[in-house]
Amino acid sequence: MGHHTCCNQQKVKRGLWSPEEDEKLIRYITAHGYGCWSEVPDKAGLQRCGKSCRLRWINYLRPDIRRGRFTQEEEKLIISLHEVVGNRWAQIASHLPGRTDNEIKNYWNSWIKKKIRKPSRMQHNLSTTAFHGGYTFSTAPDMTTEQYPFHYELLNYNPNPNNPSPFENFVGTKPLPTLDTDDHHQEVPSLHPSFFMFDTSSVISQDSTATTTQLLHIPSSASNSDLAWCFVDHQAVAVGGHVEMGLSTDINFMLPALVDDGDPHHLLELTYNDQCLEKQHDLQQQGYQSTNSNNNDELLSWDESQQCPNFLFWDNAVDGSAEDEIAPFSSLVGTGTSPYPPSLLP
């Protein structure tokens, strides 16, 4: 492997910079500036190539550099900008004063690695809950504004006899709580069952299904580190290691209502309205917006390489980090025996 032309000299030193070298570089740049980087090593008395000096100054030594952990605001900004510009780290860095492209790139790479590694612990569970075929929903005609009873069915569902449906327990009629029309902060239940997924890596207590509104049913087989596939009528949150239901406004741990229609380029978004409309989105062309009105914490993007959406969600995870994860939606829905793209397997 050849070196850059400016680094061909035998005497050029590589590797970590010593404090003495840093001091020499700082002293020189402070006094003279850096008009031509190729001249800096000689004039500063450094046995480094100009490029190395430039990198050291820009990424580490310059006085306006900001070090330390990224704040949540910075992290969100990075995610948003990455959505728009991709791996153009310098462009992203230009929006974060004091941060370098290198730092952001490193942060993103380690962050992403962390995100795509975590789904592997779900793989085993998914292999037992993978399903095939499409499904649709219907709402009951006797729905009232007072009670919102609903009925939902799974249609066109073709379970493999050897691979029992994780949804069987959820087919039926469930009452919904009465709305308090004076409470404007109360969440309005959807008029259809929504398809939610929970990372139940926190301990699931079967007792939790008996609390609150009893609308959330967790499969009896669900266990620690399991991925529960739940049909619920409206908001649900994972609280304190339990999965509970309620009219909570905390949606950090809730995934949007989405249905995989079998076409890897589409998802069906179940929207809030009395016709129970299903709005189909072409993710590849338009990108995707969460069904949640508060979608600050959720983001979907089209992953060109995997040909599926990336799915970002909050995780009340085993390590208690409550950090967000990213995973391809197809890997979560699972349409085959191995829903994970090979590149994501450990």
Partner DNA sequence: AAGCTCCGCAACCGCCCCGGG
Partner DNA sequence: GCCCGGGGCGGTTGCGGAGCT
- Using CB under 7 A as the criterion, which residues of the chain lie in contact with DNA when the complex forms? 1-7, 13-17, 35-38, 48, 50-52, 54-56, 59-60, 87-91, 101-103, 105-107, 109-110, 113-114, 117
Question: Measured between alpha carbons, how far is 218 from 167 in angstroms, rounded to an integer?
Answer: 10
**Nearer of residues 5 and 173 to DNA, judged by Cβ:** 5
Q: Based on CB atoms, which residue is closest to DNA, 89 or 313?
A: 89
When the beta carbons of 6 and 318 are compared against DNA, the nearer one is 6
Shortest separation between residue 47's beta carbon and DNA, angstroms: 10
Contacts of 326 (CB under 8 A, 6+ apart): 112, 115, 116, 310, 311, 312
Nearer to DNA, 52 or 201 (CB): 52
**Shortest distance, CB of residue 70 to DNA, whole angstroms?**
9
Choose between 56 and 192: whose C-beta lies nearer to DNA.
56
CB neighbour burial string for 150-162, b if at least 16 within 10 angstroms, e if fewer: bbbebeebeeeee
Maximum Cα–Cα distance across the chain: 85
Q: Which DSSP letter does residue 158 get? A: -
Q: How far is the CB of 305 from DNA (least distance, A)?
A: 11
Sheet (strand 266-270) strand order:
258-260, 266-270, 278-282
Nearer to DNA, 1 or 31 (CB): 1
Which helix H or strand E contains 122, and what residues bound it? Answer: helix 120-129
> For the stretch 281-292, what's the b/e string if a residue is b when 16 or more beta carbons lie within 10 angstroms of its beta carbon?
bebeeeebebbe
- Minimum CB separation of residue 8 from DNA in Å reads 10
Q: Is the Cβ of residue 105 or residue 132 nearer to DNA in the bound state?
A: 105
Least Å distance, CB 329 to DNA, is: 23
CB of 326 to DNA, least distance (A): 14
CB-nearer residue toward DNA: 102 or 205: 102
Please give the full DSSP string across 38-87, using - where no structure is assigned: GGHHHHHT-SS-HHHHHHHIIIIISTT---SPPPHHHHHHHHHHHHHH-S
Whole-angstrom distance, CA of residue 170 vs CA of residue 236 = 15
Retrieve residue 66's tokens: 């900001």
CB 94 within 8 A of CB 312: no
Least distance in Å: CB of 285 to DNA? 23
Tell how far CA 123 is from the center of its chain.
17
Distance in Å, CB of 60 to DNA, minimum: 5
Tokens in use for 140?
């009951």
